[in-house]
Structure 1
Amino acid sequence: MKNKITLGFCLIGILLSACKTEPDAKAVKEEVLNIHDKLMIDGGKVMTNKMKLDSVLKSGKMKSPQDSVKIADLIENLNQADERMMDWMHGFKDDFKGKTELEDLNYYKSEMVKIRKVEDDYIKVTKASDSALKEYHVVPATKMNMEHHKH
């Protein structure tokens, strides 16, 4: 009887350990692509805010020389965030095929880290540019505005 119970627990343990608790490469890839799709919309906001800040800078209505430097720095940061997104997209292999499932999983996990960094950059730079635009009574781009302009 004791052996049957032990055997039963062993079988349950084997079955539970056979269940995947970690996502597979396909699931991670899908999440990476979903983040990419969201960032494409955010990228439109980044570029619209850049153009609006450029207009503010060229307007000559700066409150101080330091504000001119701040706006120019924000424009540069927006450009850099957009360039990092472009660099990531050019380096991403949508059709990556490793030798094993683990290699595929590791590749897409590493891409997840990279795309999350781009996402963090976008969040920081859009918050900063939104604030600067509001200081000059310019309405920052919104996702809704960007969706409306999609063709």
Structure 2
Amino acid sequence: MFLGCNNETDYKVIRQEVVDLHNKVMEDGEIASKNRLMLDTLSRIGLKAFKDTQPGIDTITEQKNIAILIGKLDQVDQDMMKWMQEFEPDVEGKGNAEAVKYFEGERIKIKKLDSQYKQILNESDVYLKKFNLIPSSHSMEHDHGKH
């Protein structure tokens, strides 16, 4: 009897990669919440103060910019929640090959969410910096490196 080399990936390895990346993306979700709060505060009260010191500021345009950024932050959070609701870590009844295929697909989805978070966090960071509102504790800490 010849057993040969079994180079098939264990689905548990890929599932763990997905879970680890999910945990990192959740950290970005927390930063997104902080950015959203700062943008909301800026929109409600902060722009008035800037109008006093910078009379040339177009508060109507800035309100629109803030609303767009908040909308993007909300959308990526909604996408993340949807992914988490649909994600099935339990593969009972599936063979290893089928489970590997499923988790490879989920890895693609969570990497896309990671990229979306990075993009909107960068965009909102840049915008908030215009108003000197980025806390030093989160200066670009959301770069997870290459995945």
Quick one: percent identity of the two aligned structures? 32
- In structure 2, how many angstroms separate the alpha carbons of the residues matched to 1:144 and 1:115? 20
TM-score (structure 2 length as normaliser): 0.79
Structure 1 residues 55-64 or 111-120, which shifts more?
A: 55-64
- Structure 1 unaligned spans of 5+: 1-10, 146-151
Q: Which residue of 2 aligns with 1:8?
A: none
Q: Which residue of 2 aligns with 1:7?
A: none
Instruction: Say whether 1:110 aligns with 2:105.
Output: yes
Task: From the two aligned structures, give the one with the greater helix fraction.
Answer: 1
Pairwise CA RMSD of aligned residues?
2.4
2:83 to 85, 88, 96: 88
Structure 1 residues 62-71 or 104-113, which shifts more?
A: 62-71
- In structure 1, how many angstroms separate the alpha carbons of the residues matched to 2:72 and 2:27? 18
Please show how residues 1-151 of structure 1 align to structure 2 within 5 Å.
18-20=5-7, 23-59=9-45, 60-61=47-48, 63-64=57-58, 65-140=60-135, 142=138
Which of 1 and 2 has greater Rg? 1
Moved over 4 A (4+): none
Q: Which secondary structure does the structure 1 equivalent of 2:31 belong to?
A: helix
Q: Which secondary structure does the structure 1 equivalent of 2:132 belong to?
A: coil
Residue 100 of structure 1 aligns with an amino acid whose one-letter code is G
Change (3 A) 1:109 1:37: same
Q: Which secondary structure does the structure 1 equivalent of 2:80 belong to?
A: helix
TM-score (structure 1 length as normaliser): 0.77
Residue 27 of structure 2 aligns with an amino acid whose one-letter code is I
Q: Which secondary structure does the structure 2 equivalent of 1:94 belong to?
A: coil
- Structure 2 unaligned spans of 5+: 51-56, 142-147
CA contact (8 A) 1:92 1:111 kept: yes
